[in-house]
Every structure is written in C-alpha cells, then in structure tokens.
C-alpha cells in the first residue's frame, strides 16, 4: 500500500489507510503507476484513494478526451495504478465503478472524521485545563463557579416579588433603560427638563428622562447556565473526552465527540459572558438604582 508524505507536523497517530492525495506528483510517482491504460484490456479491481486536484488533467484511460479535477487512483487487473476521472469511471466501468466508489467514499469520510477527533483529542488535557481556569476566574472577587448561588440569592430575596417579575420581563424584552415620565408645567421646567422636552418631542405637559440603564440585565435570563449541575456536566464530559481512544470508537461516537468539541469553546465563552453580566447586575450602584426607581420599572 502506498504511504502518503504525511505533513503531520504534530506527529499525531493519524489514520492513513486511505492516502490523502494533495498533488498530481504524488499520484504520478506511485509504484506501478501507468500514465496510459487501455480500458478494453484492463478492468478496475479497486479504488485506492480519491483526489480533487488542479489544474484539470486527462486521466489514464487511453480513450479519455476529458480533463478532470476529481477522480480516483484506481488499481487495474494488471496490477497497475492509474488515474481514473470521475466521469470516465462512470462511462467505462459503469457497474463496478459505482460500488467501489460508494465503498471508498464512505471509508474515506469515516477516516476524515476519525482523524479530526485524533487531532482534537491531542488537546483534550488543554481543554480540561482551560475549563478549570474559567471556573476559577473571579468576577467581583467571586469565582465563576460560585456565581449561580450568589446571583440566585440576590434575585430570590433581594427585591419584592412583583418588582423582580418586572425586571424579568424587561430582561426578556431587552429593555434596560428606566425612564421617568412626569407632568410639568412650562414655567416650572428647569433648564435640563426643557432640553429633554425639546429633544423628546413629547406632549408639552410631559417630560421623560432616562434615569438608569440596568447593568448586566441579560444575567436575569441567562444565569442558569452557571448552574452547578451544568458546570459539573461539562467537567465530566471533558474528563470522558480525555479518556477516549479515537482509534477504536465507532462512527456514531466519533461524530458525537466532533459535535461536542465544536460546542465546547462556544460554551466556555458563554460562561464568561454570563458571569460578567451577573457581576455587573450585582454591583451596588445597579442594585441601589433598581430599588430607587422600582416604581418606574
Ligand atoms: Zn478521463
């Protein structure tokens, strides 16, 4: 079996049962490679590796008049290896080609998935380390992993129930600005109020003023992402990922871990975002302002 020139800089134990072809030179320097074969005399017995290369080139079939980019390194009944363009395979060897192509494509795709997990798995310990560092990171002198309890306590006991309900509604509506609107007669307006009136275009009898922007309001709907059970689950999954051996997992499990890896970094940045919002909402200034302006929520 032909062995590709691996550009595997990290020296990982990648699976290369089906070689990854990256240039025409690689194809043409294969042992037993034949530039021309006669499809009337030589049958295909196997497909060895897919390729998709530029510039397009005619394949090895003597009757080929088409330049192809994609095709397969094929093995002939005479033991030769040759280039078989996609459309030529279909035209010259219709029955066998499709079966061999399906089988090789499936195995090749599986190999790609397995190798992606092998690469990701090499960083498994780093992922765990990163997660631990995020959980211990302090926001307002409190580690992220303790924010669920702290925040939950504030919103369960820090405000009257109906006030908290109004804050919740605002969080879901994305309305952090608290405004006060009040009736004033023209002569009683001070300079600031007159300015506001002119800018707002409100009815002359009313003046509206933004008195507070609720900090970290999103935390009210998102803080449950910091639930200890969820954090624990991330740790357990990270641990499990470290312990797998990608060479022996079936395709379903490989695909599961591929999805898990893709979502992991996103989840980490979400945790940071939510903890930041929690600490901003929790700040003294914010809590005092919410209590002061509770009538206007
Ligand atoms: Zn061809």
**Residues having C-beta closer than 5 Å to ion ligand 1:** 59, 64, 66, 85, 88
pLDDT band at 2 (very low <50, low <70, confident <90, very high): very low
The per-residue pLDDT for 5 is 45
pLDDT score of 107 more than 90: yes
Give CA–CA dist 36/23, Å, rounded: 18
Q: How far is the CA of 131 from the centre of ligand 1 (A)?
A: 52
Q: How far is the CA of 247 from the centre of ligand 1 (A)?
A: 36
CB-hemisphere CA count at 13 Å for 93? 27
pLDDT score of 233 more than 90: yes
- Tell me the average pLDDT across 142-149: 97
Mean pLDDT over each residue of the chain, to the nearest integer: 91
pTM: 0.75
Beta-ladder partners of 177:
213
The per-residue pLDDT for 184 is 66
Q: How far is the CA of 112 from the centre of ligand 1 (A)?
A: 26
Token look-up 């195995």 returns 107
Q: How far is the CA of 105 from the centre of ligand 1 (A)?
A: 19
Q: Output the six-digit token pair for 108.
A: 């090749």
pLDDT score of 276 more than 90: yes
pLDDT score of 191 more than 90: no
Q: How far is the CA of 68 from the centre of ligand 1 (A)?
A: 7
CA-to-CA separations, 238 to 52, 101, 123, 189, in angstroms, rounded: 36, 37, 11, 62
Q: Summarize pLDDT for 146-187 with one digit per residue, the tens.
A: 999 999 999 999 999 999 999 999 999 999 999 998 776 655
User: Domains of the chain: which residue ranges?
Assistant: 24-121, 124-176+214-296
The per-residue pLDDT for 181 is 81
Q: How far is the CA of 106 from the centre of ligand 1 (A)?
A: 23
Q: How far is the CA of 111 from the centre of ligand 1 (A)?
A: 26
């Amino acid at each position: 079996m032909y062995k590709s020139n691996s550009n595997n800089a990290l020296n990982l134990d990648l699976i290369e049962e089906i070689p990854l072809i990256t240039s025409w030179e690689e194809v043409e320097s294969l042992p037993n490679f034949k530039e021309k074969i006669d499809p009337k005399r030589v049958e295909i017995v196997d497909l060895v590796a897919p390729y998709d290369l530029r510039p397009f080139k005619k394949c090895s079939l003597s009757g080929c008049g088409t330049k192809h980019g994609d095709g397969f390194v094929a093995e002939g009944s005479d033991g030769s290896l040759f280039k078989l363009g996609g459309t030529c395979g279909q035209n010259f060897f219709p029955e066998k080609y499709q079966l061999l192509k399906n089988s090789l494509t499936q195995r090749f795709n599986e190999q790609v998935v397995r190798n992606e997990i092998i690469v990701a798995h090499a960083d498994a310990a780093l992922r765990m380390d990163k997660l631990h560092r995020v959980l211990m990171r302090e926001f307002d002198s409190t580690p992220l992993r303790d924010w669920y309890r702290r925040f939950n306590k504030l919103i369960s006991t820090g405000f009257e129930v109906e006030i908290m309900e109004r804050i919740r509604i605002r969080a879901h509506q994305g309305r952090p600005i608290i405004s006060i609107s009040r009736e004033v007669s023209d002569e009683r307006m001070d300079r600031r109020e007159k300015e506001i009136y002119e800018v707002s275009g409100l009815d002359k009898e009313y003046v509206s003023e933004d008195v507070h922007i609720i900090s970290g309001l999103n935390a009210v709907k998102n803080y449950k992402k910091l639930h200890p059970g969820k954090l624990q689950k991330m740790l357990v999954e990270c641990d499990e990922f470290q312990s797998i051996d990608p060479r022996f997992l079936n395709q379903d499990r490989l695909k599961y871990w591929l999805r898990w890896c893709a979502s992991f970094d996103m989840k980490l940045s979400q945790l940071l975002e939510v903890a930041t919002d929690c600490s901003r909402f929790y700040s003294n200034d914010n809590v005092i302002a919410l209590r002061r302006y509770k009538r206007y929520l």
